[in-house]
A and B are shown apart, each in its own frame.
Chain A
Amino acid sequence: AQKITQTQPGMFVQEKEAVTLDCTYDTSDPSYGLFWYKQPSSGEMIFLIYQGSYDQQNATEGRYSLNFQKARKSANLVISASQLGDSAMYFCAMREQGAQKLVFGQGTRLTINP
Chain B
Amino acid sequence: DTGVSQDPRHKITKRGQNVTFRCDPISEHNRLYWYRQTLGQGPEFLTYFQNEAQLEKSRLLSDRFSAERPKGSFSTLEIQRTEQGDSAMYLCASSLIVGQINEKLFFGSGTQLSVL
Residues of chain A with a CB closer than 8 A to B42's CB: 4, 91, 93, 104-107
Contact in complex: B48, A100 (CB < 8 Å): yes
Residues of chain A with a CB closer than 8 A to B58's CB: 101
The interface size of chain B toward A, counting residues with CB under 8 Å, comes to 25
Contact of A45 among B41, B91, B101, B102 (CB under 8 A): B91
Contact in complex: A107, B41 (CB < 8 Å): yes
Contact in complex: B45, A50 (CB < 8 Å): no
Contact in complex: A47, B105 (CB < 8 Å): yes
Give Cα distance in the complex from A93 to B42, angstroms.
Answer: 9
Chain B's nearest CB lies how many Å from the CB of A71? Answer: 20
> Knowing that A37-B107, A93-B42, A103-B45 are A-B contacts, what are 16 other residue pairs whose CB atoms are under 8 Å apart, sorted by A's residue number?
A32-B101, A33-B102, A43-B89, A44-B108, A45-B91, A45-B105, A47-B106, A52-B101, A91-B42, A100-B48, A101-B33, A101-B45, A102-B45, A104-B42, A104-B43, A107-B40
Interface residues of B (CB under 8 A from A): 33, 40-45, 48, 55-56, 58, 89, 91, 93, 101-110, 112
Interface residues of A (CB under 8 A from B): 4, 31-33, 35, 37, 42-47, 50, 52, 91, 93, 95-97, 100-107
